[in-house]
Chains A and B, each alone.
Chain A
Amino acid sequence: MSNLTNETVLARLQEKFGDAIRNHEEPYGLLTIEIQAEKAHDLIAWLKADDVLKMSFLTLIGAVNFPNDKDRELCVNYHIHSLSHNVRLRIRAFLPIENPTIKSIRDIYIGADWQERETYDFFGVIFEGHPNLTRILNEDSMDYFPMRKEYHLEDATREDKDDRYFGR
């Protein structure tokens, strides 16, 4: 195990990708960076190939919907892990909901295949270059993306659990 720290990782990433890395934070110790959506593919490919960082394990791909964040409504998260250094990295890319398109990383990690399909299925993120971007857990005939915040689970007429009644 080496002494690779979040600072080292960040410095190396900034040196390589400069302004494409928009901001960074470390919530609960996990280095999290925001990258321009069009650069996400290159960054992940570079991380896998880089001999110093050796970040070559894709842990997770997922998305989050922030409906009030104009032109950044959908956030795609990638969790990458360096097994040699045991350092994890979260990469975020924000997409506008009108055109939620980002390059697929299936060519880098074959394991991204189903995770991208799942993200498409639930959030409607279009992964360009994915060979079979179809629904995976939901029915094919579904015409909406159920994990977006506009779809509520409960009956919209019910108000007994409305946050207003609990002082929020």
Chain B
Amino acid sequence: MSDTSNKNKSLFADETIDGQIATLNLGPTHPATHGIFQNVLTVDGEKILGSVQTVGYIHRAFEKLAERRPYNQITPITDRLNYCSSPINNMGWEMTMEKLIGVTVPKKVDYMRVIIMELARVADHLVCNSVIGVDTGALTGFTYMFQQRELIYELYEEVCGARLTTNIGRIGGFERDFSPTFHVKLKKFLKEFNKHFQEFDDLLLRNRIFMDRTIGAGPISGERALDYGFTGPNLRAAGVDYDVRVMTPYSSYEDFDFIIPVGTQGDTYDRFCVRQEEIRQSMKIIEQAYNNMPEGSYFSPDVPEFYLPTKADVYTKMEALIYHFKIVMGETPVPVGEVYHAVEGGNGELGFHLISDGGRTPYRLQFRRPCFIYYQAYPEMITGQTISDAVLTLSSLNVIAGELDA
């Protein structure tokens, strides 16, 4: 017979279900965690009392890998940081290298880069904002906006043949000029995007349910955000107008007319609104860059020892064959030096700290990864909030596991 002496005892120490503190694992693999990272929440009912995060589940040692790769072969590593906007990472790295070797690329390359980088920003923000919608239960906007992201991916495909891990561009420029199909597709995209985007805007921006769910969810003050090292849309939503494109212009950003949207509360709704406006501003920048595209070369002729020659040249010209071999084998002379270059990534300041000892691979390469910076503020932002707020806060911070764990 079983022991029945405890039969009537409550399962809970204090005899009531009220005031019970529970531990809840949100993740590591949970649809709401947007990647593989674990949050151990201490909850009182729906209310979060505290949280501890664990990261590193997909750590792939990118910085160590970079120490054994020739400079050209590091671009594919950068793809895999924030994979929602890979081209920005690619070009940030290429610009870092150009800074190290002291090369100025033609104006046309700058403008082409701006177009690709802003398309990437639009794609990144579209994913983030439509996923905020999904986390409030609104799937429609997500399906609409993924169609637009698909069109951007088709544009990437026209430039480099890849969609997600793009490897767009080269040190010194682009592999080839934009194809005629690219022009057709880009014009169509520029013409039609705003109409579809407006639909998404109408769906959520003034939607009572959406506003109730997101206003006040996961707030952070500007001062606190700065203390944590926030940059990008998450900092701007808290009211600080820091944008690398404006503060330290690169790739001819100073030529374009655009504004930096800022929020006031630093909550999920503000982060959503800031990204919505940034998408509009990015489209404006793309239009300006496309309409004023300078004539000239799509690569810098000053760096044949870094710029991979075309296959046609490799097969027919001795010089090109030699350069091709030397570049692929990583046998190109690199100056000794230490350089830090930052770009405004989809998520904030993406920095590259590169130390070269003149060898064929970097002596040390460190990435400043904005997601890594944001995520440590997460417990503070969700304490006192509900579990559903925690999910929304996470999606609005746009923490991408690839960049977080590097």
Contacts and interface: CB of A to CB of B under 8 A. Distances in A.
Contacts, number: 93
B44 interface: no
Interface in B203-257: 226-229, 240, 242, 247-248
Contact of B340 (A56, A88, A168): A88
A77 to B, nearest CB: 7
Contacts of B65: 153
Given A32-B338, A83-B242, A111-B376, A137 B405 contact: yes
A58 to B, nearest CB: 5
A118 B55 CA distance: 11
Interface in A134-163: 135-139, 146-147, 152-154, 163
Interface stretch (A4-12, A37-45, A59-67, A93-101): A59-67
Contacts of A46: none
A117 to B, nearest CB: 9
Contact of A154 (B68, B242, B363, B372): B68
A114 B376 contact: yes
Nearest to A65: B364
Interface in A53-95: 56-60, 62, 64-65, 77, 79, 83, 86, 88, 90
B349 interface: yes
Dominant secondary structure of chain B at its interface with chain A: mixed
B59 A110 contact: no
Contact of B64 (A57, A88, A110, A147): A147
Contacts of B355: 64
A135 B377 CA distance: 18
A127 to B, nearest CB: 15
A111 B228 contact: yes
B56 A137 contact: yes
B229 A109 contact: yes
A166 B353 contact: no
A138 B57 CA distance: 9
A113 B229 contact: no
Contact of B63 (A59, A79, A147): A147
Nearest to A30: B340
A28 B227 contact: no
Given A30-B340, A153-B65, A166-B331, A60 B56 contact: no
B65 to A, nearest CB: 7
Interface in B311-339: 329, 331, 337-339
A27 interface: yes
B226 A60 contact: no
Interface string A100-122: 00000000011101110010001
A152 B67 CA distance: 9
Interface string B66-98: 011000000000000000000000000000000
Contact of A28 (B55, B337, B351, B360): B337
Contacts of A114: 372-373, 375-376
Contact of B228 (A79, A110, A136): A110
A28 B99 contact: yes
B353 A77 contact: yes
Contacts of A136: 55-56
Contacts of B63: 122, 147
Interface of B: 55-56, 59, 61, 63-65, 67-68, 99-100, 226-229, 240, 242, 247-248, 329, 331, 337-340, 342, 349, 351, 353, 355, 359-360, 363-364, 366, 368, 372-373, 375-377, 405-406
Task: Return the 8 tightest CB-CB contacts between A and B, nearest first.
Answer: A111-B229, A137-B56, A137-B59, A111-B228, A62-B366, A114-B376, A153-B68, A60-B368
16 contacts: A56-B226, A59-B349, A59-B351, A60-B366, A60-B368, A62-B366, A64-B364, A83-B240, A110-B228, A111-B228, A111-B377, A114-B375, A136-B55, A137-B55, A137-B405, A137-B406
